[in-house]
């Protein structure tokens, strides 16, 4: 990745220098060599090299193209860009609908970077022939081919407008930038219809951004699009937030998300800034942004966050509620549904309480105390183990083993054959459990963890955390 991200700025700088350098008999040969190098290196950065920005989980995805004519439901008459697109269907009438936000961001970046590289090539070719009077056959690069390719990349940026227009203020600002880049290219290329379209669509984006520009509070897990560099040293590691991120990957493409990382204080508590969003200042917290919301909707407490997200964006992660013919009757619920409600509460209400005690005891046992105090801390920890933890671990994990064995229809999840949001909720405590308890005695629990960890959305959430923090994800 570094090779390419670092290469382009350097190549653009060298392009500027080449263009600004006056040709003299003494530097002519050097300039010709530099021109050839630059054209080769900029050309070498084309799409295949830049596709590194597309996450591996999304490489098999093909975004669908939608238009106002064929997909009127995908266009909203409250969104400025959609109003513009409906009124001005030419020259861009089809837009990409992406299945995953990281895929969309990756594709957009590829087109943006390719357009920048192509514009630099065009600038070089133009300067070499018109200012430096190099012979036209000095390079094998075909001007028409590069122009066509750049035109296509600029058009692809415009076709991403629908995706970004439905999202947050930050995404709107990014879209504005994309449209202005495409607009600049079309203007210099002389494609006036496309230039005008970009200019007017960018204006619609600017108006939407102004309308939505409310102060967005920083959150540990804001839902919305954010394409910002994250400060180094901030981390999400060792936090319940991972399961929310996992769920957000299951909510795609109905909602896109980004995460903001906060660093724990030395004593492991959350930083004070988090209290500005929710008085308890605990993680996770999410802020939902939507065109109809005057200000972001802030939610705290994992269970509430999960239930809210499922209700609006992931009803497929909730089991069927009623047995046939028993609708809305007392006791008419399916076993899957009853388990779902139970585990949604059991995770934080019961199991986490036990595990937090276990984690605390581990801290006492491993506390950096002088050697003569060690026997005391070990004694305290040992008493907790013997009188409370060992027995309760066996009871709770034995219970889960039995529950998995009797899961409806022989399913491998806690509420039957399908993954539900209750499993997402339970994932954090069972993963913490794996660090404290010898789970080999509970093979079904181990298999359950293994199945969850193999899920593509689960893996995508871990990849996202690791990419953001630059470290391996660890549960505690």
Ligand X SMILES: N[C@@H](CCC(=O)N[C@@H](CS)C(=O)NCC(=O)O)C(=O)O
* Interacting residues with ligand X (CB under 6 A): 239-240, 269-270, 282-284, 301-302, 348
Least gap, CB of 349 to ligand X (angstroms): 9
Nearer to ligand X, 35 or 270 (CB): 270
Nearer to ligand X, 213 or 269 (CB): 269
Distance between CA atoms of residues 248 and 275, nearest Å:
23
Least gap, CB of 266 to ligand X (angstroms): 12
Least gap, CB of 30 to ligand X (angstroms): 59
Residue 472 burial (CB count, 10 A): 9
Nearer to ligand X, 301 or 385 (CB): 301
Distance between CA atoms of residues 284 and 303, nearest Å:
10
Least gap, CB of 268 to ligand X (angstroms): 7
Least gap, CB of 6 to ligand X (angstroms): 36
- For the record, the structure tokens of 459 come out as 């893996």
What are the two backbone dihedrals, phi and then psi, of residue 305, each rounded to the nearest 5 degrees?
A: -60, -45
Nearer to ligand X, 301 or 401 (CB): 301
Q: Residue 413 — left, alpha, or beta (φ > 0 → left; ψ -120 to 50 → alpha)?
A: beta
CA within 13 Å, CB half, 464: 27
Nearer to ligand X, 189 or 308 (CB): 308
Place of tokens 């801390």: 377
Q: What is the DSSP letter of 328?
A: T
Nearer to ligand X, 146 or 352 (CB): 352
Nearer to ligand X, 269 or 456 (CB): 269
Distance between CA atoms of residues 335 and 414, nearest Å:
11
- From 247, 231, 15, select the one nearest 127 (Cα to Cα): 15
Least gap, CB of 217 to ligand X (angstroms): 16
Distance between CA atoms of residues 37 and 136, nearest Å:
17
Least gap, CB of 282 to ligand X (angstroms): 4
Distance between CA atoms of residues 85 and 160, nearest Å:
12
């Amino acid at each position: 990745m570094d090779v390419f991200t670092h290469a382009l700025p350097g190549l653009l700088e060298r392009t500027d220098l080449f263009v600004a350098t006056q040709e003299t008999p003494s530097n002519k040969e050097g300039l010709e060599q530099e021109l050839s190098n630059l054209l080769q290196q900029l050309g070498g950065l084309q799409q295949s090299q830049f596709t590194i920005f597309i996450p591996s989980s999304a490489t098999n995805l093909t975004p669908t193209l939608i238009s106002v004519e064929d997909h009127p439901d995908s266009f909203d008459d409250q969104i400025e860009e959609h109003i513009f697109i409906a009124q001005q269907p030419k020259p861009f009438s089809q837009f990409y609908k992406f299945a995953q936000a990281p895929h969309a961001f990756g594709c957009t970046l590829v087109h943006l970077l390719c357009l920048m590289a192509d514009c630099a090539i065009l600038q070089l070719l133009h300067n070499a022939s018109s200012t430096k009077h190099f012979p036209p056959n000095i390079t094998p690069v075909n001007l028409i081919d590069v122009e066509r390719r750049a035109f296509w990349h600029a058009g692809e940026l415009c076709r991403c407008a629908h995706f970004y227009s439905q999202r947050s203020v930050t995404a709107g600002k990014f879209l504005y930038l994309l449209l202005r880049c495409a607009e600049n290219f079309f203007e210099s290329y002389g494609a006036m219809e496309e230039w005008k379209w970009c200019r007017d669509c960018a204006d619609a984006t600017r108006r939407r951004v102004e309308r939505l520009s409310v102060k967005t509070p920083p959150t540990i897990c804001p839902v919305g699009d954010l394409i910002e560099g994250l400060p180094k040293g901030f981390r999400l590691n060792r936090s319940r937030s991972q399961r929310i991120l996992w769920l957000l990957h299951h909510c795609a493409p109905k909602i896109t998300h980004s995460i903001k990382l906060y660093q724990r204080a030395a004593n492991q508590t959350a930083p004070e800034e988090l209290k500005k969003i929710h008085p308890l200042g605990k993680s996770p917290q999410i802020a939902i942004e939507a065109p109809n919301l005057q200000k972001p909707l802030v939610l705290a407490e994992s269970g509430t966050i999960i239930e809210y997200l499922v209700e609006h964006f992931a009803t497929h992660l909730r089991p069927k509620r009623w047995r046939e013919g028993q609708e809305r009757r007392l006791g008419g619920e399916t076993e899957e549904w009853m388990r779902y409600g139970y585990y949604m509460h059991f995770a934080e209400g019961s199991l986490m309480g036990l595990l937090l005690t276990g984690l605390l005891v581990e801290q006492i046992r491993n506390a950096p105390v002088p050697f003569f105090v060690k026997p005391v801390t070990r004694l305290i920890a040992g008493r907790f183990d013997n009188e409370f933890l060992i027995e309760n671990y066996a009871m709770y994990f034995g219970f889960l083993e039995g529950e998995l064995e009797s899961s409806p229809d022989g399913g491998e999840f806690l509420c039957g054959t399908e993954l539900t949001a209750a499993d997402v909720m339970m994932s954090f405590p069972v993963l913490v459990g794996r660090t404290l308890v010898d789970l080999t005695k509970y093979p079904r629990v181990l298999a359950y963890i293994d199945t969850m960890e193999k899920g593509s959305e689960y893996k995508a959430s871990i990849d996202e955390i690791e990419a953001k923090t630059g470290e391996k994800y660890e549960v505690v």
